Amino acid sequence: MRKSKRILYISVSWLTGAVFLFTPLTPHAWEALAPGLLIGEFDPAEKSPVPGDSIVVLRIDPEKYELKLLSTSEQGGKPRTARQWAEDFGLSAVINASMYQEDHKTSTGYMKNFGHINNGQINSKFGAFLVFHPHSPGIPPVQIIDRYHQGWKDIIQQYDTVIQNYRMISLKGDNVWDPSNEIYSAACVGMDQEGHVLFIHSRSSFSVHDLNRILLELPIHIKNAMYVEGGKEAALYVNMDGKARAWVGSYEIDVTEHTPSRGGPEIPNVIGIVKRK
């Protein structure tokens, strides 16, 4: 996430000209997209000072869908929009994998994908690790490891894909962010009590502390979660059977400097899903 000059809050649709083919979601209801894949749209009781849309949650059964980490550093070329990542690599859904450094390639936390190392340094400020592609069938296919409640050094060695980010909700279900006046759109990845992966997008702007409280109150049975991006770069894209919809963030910027971009923000690192064979 890169911060622009803070003068005025504006909520911006970054998919000008995009076609949304899903019918509108019913608030507080899950819609089945496919076996093992549900999507829900939830209206938080607490309203944002910068309203956008409802909070969207994509619930993924890791037994039916495989997670994939895709990065510009491994795949080459330049950052792509969420839609381009999905189309180029045959993904059913895409969300940000992490915030990134000034080179527009390197994650701000530790990130590896099999033999490719995007960032080999553990970030001392980040307390969550999303891990998948286990070495053996006897361990969970996906976990969010809590650095402060688990033996993370040993666990991450058991997986080929590791992505480190800020903790939002701890393994014990605690809101671990302090209250703040900084508010943004946000993309998050969580796990629920049944072991489903949750891709979460809030276009309405909240502080992370307030968003955590909202997520814990929603009927999504969230267990723990990590923050993957905020502001205009926060993106979620879903495409099932040719029916596509995207959600992108709003951000703070001088109104005189704003020119809408077509196709959504370009992001260097994403998590996608594909149906297991």
pLDDT of residue 263: 58
Count of other CB atoms within 10 angstroms of residue 257 = 9
Token pair for residue 244? 């596509």
On the question of pLDDT at 251 being above 70, the answer is no
pLDDT at 200: 98
Residue 17 pLDDT exceeds 60: no
Which backbone phi and psi does 214 adopt, to 5 degrees? -65, -45
Encode pLDDT of 19-38 as tens digits: 333 344 445 579 999 999 99
| pLDDT for the residue numbered 27 | 52
Q: How many CA atoms lie within 13 A of 175 on its CB side?
A: 14
- At residue 120 the predicted structure's pLDDT band, cuts being 50, 70 and 90, is very high
Q: If you average pLDDT over residues 249-261, what whole number do you get?
A: 42
Alpha carbon of residue 210 to chain centroid: 17
Q: How far apart are CA 129 and CA 95, in angstroms?
A: 16
pLDDT tens by residue, 124-174? 999 999 999 999 989 999 999 999 999 999 999 999 999 999 999 999 999
Give the model's pLDDT for residue 143: 98
135: number of CA atoms within 13 Å, CB side?
9
User: Are 191 and 225 a contacting pair, CB within 8 Å?
Assistant: yes
100 pLDDT more than 80: yes
Q: Give the C-alpha separation, 58 to 56, whole Å.
A: 7
Domain boundary assignment for the chain? 9-275
Of residues 245 and 12, more confidence is placed in 245
Task: Decide if pLDDT at 210 tops 70.
Answer: yes
